[in-house]
Structure 1
Amino acid sequence: MRRFLTATPLLAALLFAPAVHAADRDWPTFGLDYANTRLADLPGITPRSVKKLVPKWIYQSGIAATFQATPIVTGGKIYVSLPGSHVVALDARTGVELWRYTHSKRSEKLCCGPANRGVAVDDGRVFVATVDARLVALDAASGKPLWDIELARPDNAITESGAGIKGEVGGGSGVGAAAAPLVVDGKVIVGINGVGYGLHIDAQGRAGQLAAVVGIAGKYGGIGFLAAFDAKTGQRVWQFDTVRKPADGGWEGDFVERTGDGLPLNRNIAEERANADRHRDAWEYGGGSVWNAPAYDAKTGLLYFGTGNPSPQINDSTRPGDNLYTASLIAVDAKTGRYAWHWQQIPHDKWGYDVASPPVLFDHREPGGRVVPAVGQASKLGWFYVHDRATGALLYRSDAFVPQDNLFAAASREGTRITPGVAGGVNWSPAAVDGGRGLAFVAAMHLPMRYWIKESAATADRPAGRYDSMEPADEARWGVLAALDLKQRGRLRWSVKTDQPLIGGVLALKSGVVFTGEGNGHLSAFDSLSGKRLWHFQTGAGVNAPPIGYVLDGRPYVAVAAGGSAIWGYRQGDAVIVFGLPD
């Protein structure tokens, strides 16, 4: 096993010039392909041989912090976004650092910590969307910046300190970009997050515990968007705002009483309508963060992406209506950003049920044999939703893969128990789809929450008042890796319980192996058909990033970032670890 070395870009280019091999297979985009399938073809790594995997090299960045990146592999190099939106290029054979870009933040008002979920690489450029809401293009050969533009002002969202909330929480919400960009036809597609205002704190207790999410009524937050930028110049080409404005029909919608799949929302519609005129400007702070890279259908030219909760989070008293297009799956035209359709998973969301896991594209075969191009999304609610890709119509939802109780119940002064709560289900973790076997694989969690109505103490500039809080219930929590049978309308094929809630994502192999990481430091491999655990390796830090696979010189490799997650209380580290079969 080799640990990292450092070389100048020129010396590294001479010493480690990549050779082209017919069997080489890259990992060129966030989801491996435009469909976000995360299904890799790694000849040699099978259910029989996976137990032989050993570390081939370990790169340590020196930045021990929440690490969620998907490495990108192309041309014999690995490009990784580090915590804080720094970027490194590594030799994919050895782990030697070829260059490093050090990002200088323009603001310390970060939404959700330092995590960045990956870069995009295209036509000799590396693109990183930063935690302080910038988009930077780097030269892929040297790491030198080519252009650097502002996505949004980091302090644009009006924030709140949490003063008077009995010291339970603190901090504010700043605008940033955690999602990896996607390059389509010379345009860099990326969204922003941090606009769905809510107060959060890092876990201080046992591992796998999200400490609290708090909502305060008022004009806090901003408007999210997905936008396209010219890859050569950085010029903004189009922008789709994730809050529907009055001129486009308004964000209030139809004041629906049920979700699109028929579940009662327990809303006080009469009260919302009565308050609508008083809060007619609520859309200006509406929320709708974009947490992950979209999927793209090259045949139709449509992009598919999910949106986060409305603002303020958890507390809904100042935002009557359905709050469109928050907590939705949305399709837009990749050339123009023009709206195609949306399906709102949770109208008037007051539980923090962001549509955060990236959509994935595959074909749905109906009983009569007709094939329907579909888009699926692994939800915080604990279902995998499958839609017609052309219209957004719901085809079906899967069996529940986590326990469900009291969905869409209201907050109370006694603390209403809800599961899944604000954490999920499936949080931002990417799913994987094996179209040949007709299986979708999800990394999820069982983490019951209590939804409270509480009173804040009076401060010098604010009277005492109500706030809503969602906090972990004092009971057992665990993780779930599940396989869903897409040929049987999402029937649960198998489910594996893990010691801690799963946050990070899934890699599937065509040979029949599934990988996922755990907060306890294990990277594990499972049999795709049975769920039997076949192999695991202790990395020394939480594996809270999605694994990837690539082939170089005919040899298969599995790579993952092992750096943990502060918000979940998982041990932090600074490593990228690459595994392969013995020489």
Structure 2
Amino acid sequence: MSNYFLNSVISVATCSLLVACAQLPKSEAPAAKLTDWPSYGLSPEAQRFSGLSQINRNTVAQLQPAWSVDTGVKATFQATPIVVDGIMYISLPFNHVIALDARTGKQLWKYTHVRKADWPMCCGPANRGVAVAEGRVFMGTVDARLVALDAKSGQKVWDIDVAGQQVNTEHQDTLSGNDPNKTRKVTGGTGVGIAMAPVVYKHKVIIGITGVGYGLHIDNPRSDAPLGAVIGVTGRYGRPGFLAAFDVKDGHQVWQFDTIPKQGWEGQFTTKTADGSQFERDVAAEKAAMKDFPDSARFGGGSAWSTPAIDAATHTLYFGTGNPSPQMNDVSRPGDNLYTVSLVALDTETGKYKWHYQQVPHDLWGYDLASPPVLFNYQHQGKTIAAVGQASKAGWFYIHDRLTGQFLAKSDPFVPQRNLFKKPSAEGTVIYPGILGGANWSPVSLDEQQQRVYVAAIHSPIKYTVHETEVKPGDKPIRYAASEPTDDARWGLLSAIDLQSGHIAWQHKTSQPLVGGVLATAGGLLFCGEGDGKFAAYDSQTGKSLWQYTSEFGVNAPPITYQVNGEQYIAVASGGNSLFGFKQGDRILTFKLTPQH
């Protein structure tokens, strides 16, 4: 049995003293049968659970393609379609946007994005989607801009630079001349960009930057394999990440929260967290190194990967942060490296810090919080607690009191774990989940009424190695840390987790790692896609496969559902994922019920 109930008695006792924790109103999500899909997580709470039930366990066998659109941009496709008043808005790779009739797929308009020619992309051309509000469509771009379009015409209303000037990046030139990684092909870069879909709240567009974790991404020679080595070189690279709010009318910045504090970045030199995780650290050596690296926070990292969840009752937003910089290599960054690899709560109106919980202090593995957090009413020991949950790369689903940040519980592992927090070594340390996860950026779906969360995850063993190479005799050797996939088998795991017990209710193993996200509905269904093009519906209670469709391209994006003229549709982007070796494409797929004759 896991340590799921660690601290739970103390947490509940503390919560009982808070009036706001008691007798919370039930979420309206299960009952409010939204016909649209108006935001990235469906609702501000980001539960991605739809109350639509026309497509259900009894009717799903009749699900057939309704329409599909080939967009003409074949590349990694991760976007969540947004549907408002019968119109679907979806961002394509390289930040083009199209508006479609959600019933027929007819194109209404297209926006073509012109990127800055000299701006390196951090992580490929994909982005996670748009936000639609107040008659406008908002999108963050791979070249670190925030663009507002007119929702009726697609014409650009305003376009602002979010990150300012580009910063120095690390290159293969940093490596020794005889290092084999010096001449290998690099996938992506270390440029600042925006991957997350924005969210709009009270006339503010909220979005954050990525690409500040600073590691070289070396391509894998196998086309069907995930990303090759990721390298972190000791040095003064990068900048802090941030989350910021911008006015919907003209794009001026309202507030900015830097994910790296100017003071106190080193934290408490934690070796054990409240959830029971322990870390091997030479605290004395780290403290001694503080005098050599007093300005580490300037290069701190902490990308903002995930679209925030918002509690409208308390005007609080919750988001996850990325790894510290340099990635995996800790020589130049002693301390806990706050607020990296953390769940962070901010005031929506001011951006003021409320609390944070660091899952992995002084991260050496790339266990950043990539999957978006989700808000729900947590039924525990006869009490209803306002909670925030997050599916981690390390392989647990965490639950916190969302008012205080107090750790309440974590689930049983939903992926295999080995040497979870072991340090990299010269001979290579095999670790899993490792840098790929666990739960990568894939959003979860949460059924609050059933107290279940559904997680798409990855098993892919990773070898972590420390290298020291001599540049020339007498010089200090160059040190870097690298992670790369092993030759071991890898697969995906689709899990239903009981929130009350923390146990796995059921689990379905897939032939490839799962990345893209899930959709649960009141029809008792769970939808999820795979890298080989399989798109399937499962019984959400048992995990039994009930229906499937095979696409030409990988289905590695989050599915949605919506209703037009009384008919329920399921939609998903099918464009694969280059980092995982899944076939890339350009297709938007939709399905609806076709009565059997």
Q: Would you say same fold, with TM above 0.5?
A: yes
Matched residue SS, 1:114: coil
| Cross-structure match for 1:224 | 241
Does the 8 A contact of 1:161 with 1:172 survive in 2?
A: no
* Counterpart pick for 2:131 among 114, 120, 139: 120
| Cross-structure match for 1:191 | 208
Distance 1:354 1:276 in 2: 24
Deviations for 1:151-197, whole angstroms, at most 9, x for unmatched residues? 01362253323544413453630000000000000000000000011
Query: Do the aligned partners of residues 343 and 323 (structure 1) sit closer, same or farther apart at CA in structure 2, a change above 3 Å counting?
Result: same
| Cross-structure match for 1:13 | none
| Cross-structure match for 2:336 | 322
Distance 2:451 2:275 in 1: 23
Does the 8 A contact of 1:547 with 1:561 survive in 2?
A: yes
| Cross-structure match for 1:451 | 464
Does the 8 A contact of 1:307 with 1:326 survive in 2?
A: yes
Q: CA deviation at 1:206?
A: 5.1
| Cross-structure match for 2:140 | 129
Distance 1:201 1:568 in 2: 13
Distance 1:121 1:421 in 2: 35
| Cross-structure match for 1:256 | 270
Query: Do the aligned partners of residues 95 and 457 (structure 1) sit closer, same or farther apart at CA in structure 2, a change above 3 Å counting?
Result: farther
Alignment partner of 1:341 is 2:358 = no
Query: Do the aligned partners of residues 100 and 456 (structure 1) sit closer, same or farther apart at CA in structure 2, a change above 3 Å counting?
Result: farther
| Cross-structure match for 1:244 | 261
Matched residue SS, 1:402: coil
Q: CA deviation at 1:41?
A: 2.2
* Counterpart pick for 1:526 among 527, 538, 544: 538
Does the 8 A contact of 2:53 with 2:521 survive in 1?
A: no
Where do residues 454-473 of structure 1 align in structure 2 (5 Å cutoff)? 454-456=467-469, 458=471, 464-473=477-486
Matched residue SS, 1:567: helix
Does the 8 A contact of 1:483 with 1:494 survive in 2?
A: yes
Distance 1:343 1:263 in 2: 13
Where do residues 378-389 of structure 1 align in structure 2 (5 Å cutoff)? 378-389=391-402
**Structure 1-normalised TM-score?**
0.93
Query: Do the aligned partners of residues 322 and 30 (structure 1) sit closer, same or farther apart at CA in structure 2, a change above 3 Å counting?
Result: same
Alignment partner of 1:476 is 2:489 = yes
Where do residues 45-444 of structure 1 align in structure 2 (5 Å cutoff)? 45-106=55-116, 107-153=118-164, 155-161=166-172, 163-164=175-176, 165-166=179-180, 167-168=183-184, 170=186, 172-205=189-222, 207-246=224-263, 250-367=264-381, 369-444=382-457
**Structure 2-normalised TM-score?**
0.91
Does the 8 A contact of 1:176 with 1:192 survive in 2?
A: yes
Does the 8 A contact of 2:185 with 2:219 survive in 1?
A: no
Deviations for 1:476-496, whole angstroms, at most 9, x for unmatched residues? 1100000000122x2110111
Matched residue SS, 1:172: coil
Deviations for 1:77-131, whole angstroms, at most 9, x for unmatched residues? 0000000011110110111111111111114401000001000000110001000
- Taking only the aligned residue pairs, the percentage that are identical comes to 53
Distance 1:157 1:507 in 2: 40
| Cross-structure match for 2:21 | none
| Cross-structure match for 1:17 | none
Distance 2:135 2:464 in 1: 49
Q: Which runs of 5+ in 2 are unaligned?
A: 1-31
Distance 2:219 2:43 in 1: 33
Query: Do the aligned partners of residues 329 and 99 (structure 1) sit closer, same or farther apart at CA in structure 2, a change above 3 Å counting?
Result: same
Distance 1:92 1:202 in 2: 38
Q: Structure 2: which amino acid aligns with 1:416?
A: T
Distance 2:345 2:221 in 1: 39
Distance 2:339 2:234 in 1: 20
Does the 8 A contact of 1:208 with 1:501 survive in 2?
A: no
Between 206-215 and 32-41, report the one with greater CA deviation.
206-215
| Cross-structure match for 1:500 | 512
Q: Structure 2: which amino acid aligns with 1:230?
A: D
Q: CA deviation at 1:220?
A: 1.1
Q: CA deviation at 1:507?
A: 0.5
Deviations for 1:528-569, whole angstroms, at most 9, x for unmatched residues? 111111111111101110000001111010000000111111
Between 410-419 and 45-54, report the one with greater CA deviation.
45-54
Query: Do the aligned partners of residues 39 and 157 (structure 1) sit closer, same or farther apart at CA in structure 2, a change above 3 Å counting?
Result: farther
Q: Which runs of 5+ in 1 are unaligned?
A: 1-21
Matched residue SS, 2:532: coil
Give aligned pairs, total.
556
Runs of 4+ residues over 6 Å off in structure 1: none
Q: CA deviation at 1:502?
A: 0.4
Distance 2:167 2:61 in 1: 50
| Cross-structure match for 1:16 | none
Distance 1:535 1:202 in 2: 35
How much is the aligned-residue C-alpha RMSD, in angstroms? 1.6
Q: Structure 2: which amino acid aligns with 1:175?
A: V
